[in-house]
Structure 1
């Protein structure tokens, strides 16, 4: 998970995470654990994700670019097996929920540090204004595998995992701060708003004020240093800020409503003709920026119902265990309403690990452990 955020670039012939060999090795190593302890898992947490993966694989055959779709389908299969392996490892008491949460948080912190360093190096090379404007894939702010919005979504998965920790150490808090700063530097409005909501769950009001004051002070000192010593030109920052707060753009979701209507018009004319997994960009040039709409138009209503069933049972299990962790899960669900980041290996892998974390968290509350049962 530490290597997940680092990858090759399109100029190298394709984008591949440096963690891929380790994930494939983990998938193979998990097989005997899964075969031995799968019977102890609630059938709903196997059946629904299995159907989810099955539909992705089937709809890959109908895609506009079978090779690109197959690569993403493969990573989903690997993520699904790792998901099962992690849950069975918790059931067999080979792995604790707290350790798994820290793995995901540490991965997010490493990605955040990578993004922060890239942000400032790009700013020194190209100027802060160009970096702020080029938030798209291939732009100065992006990483080789994704744009700033997608990066923020991956970081958000790690941030909400912080709610699961029973005993929050100083190092845990430090990693959370790196993740929070990384999300803020993406300038993704939706993810920054969701992060703010998360603050009210994680911190008490007094702690929230302290954390906010320290963050603003440190950022202000750093910006002043960069302007004076490095010569950053912030003359265009007000233009960028006004574009991010424009009322008309906010009302239309920065064009999201228009692209959503385009997909709805297609569904009205072709209600039973899904276009195939990972085909929205080829068919419409722009995705729906909504996980549910994208799944509906690419994989049919069945995929939406399967996803709803899976997420419902995960949410119900977490809700019965801890309300703050459930609220973190709701934040991830709300994030999927305004983005569809589930086509990058980084999000695919982190999402499956996060789901395994939630399911294992719910299981441990019920005492569903092999040794406890015996």
Structure 2
């Protein structure tokens, strides 16, 4: 993992120390085996245990419940560093944070006191269950049922494309408790060992092979009403709130992957000679590196702008969609160009840039495809589409 030339603007000395800690931890404990573990499809549960013990799984949440009290501006830059070392870890932390969002922001004080400390700092790992086999981008049409039976709810249905599916300790689940459309959905916090909960075999993916993505089945899973998050019918509002923040996590991860690819490309270009001089001396390649670096800096600035709006309590949904769109498209372009810089070597598994390119692709798809992000942005600009 070549040295990165990233210069960060952070709000406090504490945040500077935190980023140095994360960068050191990522270089020592995560990056050295990333390519080997991804190729073997090994999930790094020990890395998440380490991050939890270091207080890094609950950074944006309230310290009164075990969180780190860090602004999103800082938390996202931590994600970027982790994703640069290994996307499975960076994206996994983002998904875990997404799974905690509903409880942290819509749960009662009693619910938060009971569950959040374990979720944020005691080694638990979460998953977020919104998408289904027949409702991905159209989440409001989900079919998983939640039927009330006294003081419990009975959940029946299947969720799809679930990161950490089958290995998570808890699942934040959106299920239909009422009529059709977005107003009939309720959120629940479901234990990973609940009776009737099972997972299919993980999907066989082109990248992120170490991160299990699987369908999760709910076969009459009983959940106490004390684990209902928010009001009945409030689930879609909760989901959208979580996704605005989650999209920023994906944007930061994308810039982390792109930065790792640029660092590899620069190191290769400076160390490789052709026609009697370093490859980095050739103008065509120098211009490619300059364009890659510019895309990365622009993406980083965009996700940080959205994070600062969020931290100030201002609307940030449009900027979150813009950041997710731009950063993930930039990551795809930068990683593809990194492969080109390395030439034939870039196409081999001897260098990590081919892995970065395969990983970047999924970031254009998860947590709302980039076509969906364009729809979100356009609605902010021109209002809803005519029917």
TM-score of the two chains, using structure 2 as the length reference: 0.26
Which one has the bigger helix percentage? 1
Which one has the bigger strand percentage? 2
